[in-house]
Structure 1
């Protein structure tokens, strides 16, 4: 396997992880955080998929130019990652929709250029292995991305009291006190002057 095939496969894996994480969290973001109805999710996903399909057709024309293939592929991967990450700071439903649609458009544009690059760097006899490897890495990213999203949400929602006892600051202080207990120093009784004692005795007998 050439370094070019390994690089494209790694890019597909990381890109899929990057856009599967917001995809897994998108329903909760829209319905729970932004208070949108479920129909909003369907509309956003439908429009985004339609734009991605149209962008693949346009990306095919761009990929026909050998001098543009690398630029389109790299730009598509980078822009999709940035737009997908920007979804996390969206404060309204329309912002989520615009970012999602733009990310899926750039994702569609890059696919033909990526496939053309694979064909450029491997001989015809290795097309099957090269494309099979790229698809495998893409599918692995689609599996790993949602799992990572679940792990991040579980870690974020874990109460502070569920942290391991040995790692909390109050627990460390209690542990140090048990290891090095401090005992109060007994105070030395003060001597009472004879005149003061005699006066106290006279007052008691009066």
Structure 2
């Protein structure tokens, strides 16, 4: 019986960056009032003001959508006793900004329109062609794996033979960059990074 041929297994990591070309604003309009009806009415009023404000900056109605609505009781705790003192209504919005150069003005207008009802959850940057960015990251991951495996093979006095296995980590994806800023602060968008991790096994000859 002959001995099994030697193999080498390595992990390749690859990253690729691209300037962001779009953004999503995640904003909540919140109101706390004595009754449910008043809380809902005021939160909805703030939402209408936000939508009207961003529309003036080129954001169409289908780019300013509701992502969730929540109503909860506001309770006061005193000596182990809970008392409902009012109700809070929260209306969550997603505002898509296709033209990144307008992000600052849209963000400022949205928060100014909502006033004290505004709660900014963040701004997420993205790229339109995510597949191309992932492809570049995957190319870098492959080059990294080949480089590492070749070095190990040379140390063993051998060469790389056939590829026996290639696995890509399932959860590798494009990472969006999230910004958090006050409305009065200038927004300076950066880039978006894709990260890919692969495991490759070669036969050594």
Q: TM-score range by the shorter chain?
A: under 0.3
More contact order relative to length (CA 8 Å, sep ≥ 6): 2
Larger Rg: 1
Structure with a larger share of its residues in strand: 2
TM-score normalised over the length of structure 2: 0.26
Structure with a larger share of its residues in helix: 1
